Amino acid sequence: MATRPTELEIFWISGSPYSWRVLLALEIKQLKYRSHLLEASKEEHKKPEFLALNPRGKAPVLKDGDTVLYESLAIMAYLDRQYSQPQLFGQTAEETGRVWRQISEYSSYLDGPLNRVVLPIYFDKVADKKEDIRAAAKSVHTELARWEEGIGDAPWLCGISISAADVAVYPFLKSLCRAASKETAAPLQLGFLPFESRYPRLAAWMGRLERLPGYERTYPPHWRT
Ligand SMILES: N[C@@H](CCC(=O)N[C@@H](CS)C(=O)NCC(=O)O)C(=O)O
């Protein structure tokens, strides 16, 4: 574990893919941190003491001494600059460009349709949103096919080293798999599962990330119950 003058603190919500990004980054960098798991059902993220850290009332938030940051990508960038090993945003200009391109492609083309599939399944809105979920699932498949081809035989999304792109995208694909496995999603026949048959390279990539030391500490606790 890297030694540091102050204690890192992370405020997070179980199952939040944005929170998961930061937990993964902390574990991959082997940083010691104090974990504050917020209970969303008790609206702990809307209490004054949390709003003082993030006026938007959203997790994750990182505290590092006097530095307080919210927004998952900003936190990851901060951690990378402050605690550089392993470097998650690339070592060369070209690598940095590739990592950001991949993150940007996720945000621009995959995040929207993926959330249109995942959120109504999680929030029991399948009956109301059936048609939109099906339409969005089609867009997700088109995009995932591109990602499946894009990763090729590389172990990680941007090549031979793990990067911020892996960390930023993984939690969302894991959420998609979990949503697709819900009983309420079955009648929709979305075609995501078994994920390893439809997207074997992406499934292998996810497995690789799940075997990293520290991964288990990042796994959403309420998903185990
Ligand atoms: N863009 C933000 C998104 C954070 C976010 O939306 N967090 C959700 C959990 S997934 C949250 O705290 N939601 C509670 C709410 O909005 O009330 C980031 O990247 O950190």
DSSP secondary structure, 96-110, as one string: HHHHHHHHHHIIIII
Mean pLDDT of 52-64: 98
Q: How confident is the model at residue 155 (pLDDT cuts 50, 70, 90)?
A: very high
Does the beta carbon of 18 lie inside 6 Å of ligand 1? yes
Residue 137 lies in a domain: yes
Compute the distance between CA of residue 25 and CA of residue 127 in angstroms, rounded to an integer: 37
Q: How confident is the model at residue 99 (pLDDT cuts 50, 70, 90)?
A: very high
CATH number of residue 78's parent domain: 3.40.30.10
| 105 & 171 share domain | yes
Mean pLDDT of 202-207: 98
Residue 87 lies in a domain: no
Among residues 56, 82, 108, which one ends one of the domains? 82
At 166-187, the pLDDT tens digits run 999 999 999 999 999 999 999 9
pTM: 0.97
pLDDT of residue 2: 52
Among residues 33, 60, 82, which one ends one of the domains? 82
Q: Which of 10, 16, 44 to mutate to test the pocket of ligand 1 (most atoms within 8 A of CB)?
A: 16
CATH number of residue 146's parent domain: 1.20.1050.10
Q: Is 30 helix (H, G, I), strand (E, B) or coil?
A: coil
Mean pLDDT of 191-210: 98
13 forms beta bridges with: 38
Q: How confident is the model at residue 225 (pLDDT cuts 50, 70, 90)?
A: confident
CB 172 within 8 A of CB 110: yes
Mean pLDDT of 114-124: 98
Q: In what order do the strands lie in the sheet with 67-70?
A: 33-38, 8-13, 61-64, 67-70
Q: How many folded domains does the chain comprise? A: 2
Does the beta carbon of 22 lie inside 6 Å of ligand 1? no
Q: What is the dihedral of CA 62, 63, 67, 71, to 10 degrees?
A: 10
The domain in which residue 126 lies consists of: 93-212
Residue 2 lies in a domain: no
pLDDT of residue 4: 59
67 forms beta bridges with: 64
pLDDT of residue 3: 52
Tell me: pLDDT of 91 over 90.
yes
Does the beta carbon of 71 lie inside 6 Å of ligand 1? yes
| 44 & 106 share domain | no
Among residues 82, 112, 137, which one ends one of the domains? 82
| 108 & 15 share domain | no
Closest CA to 23 of 171, 174, 222, 199: 171
Does the beta carbon of 62 lie inside 6 Å of ligand 1? no
Tell me: pLDDT of 5 over 70.
no
DSSP for residue 41: G
Place of tokens 């088109």: 142
Does the beta carbon of 45 lie inside 6 Å of ligand 1? yes
For the record, the structure tokens of 39 come out as 């209970």
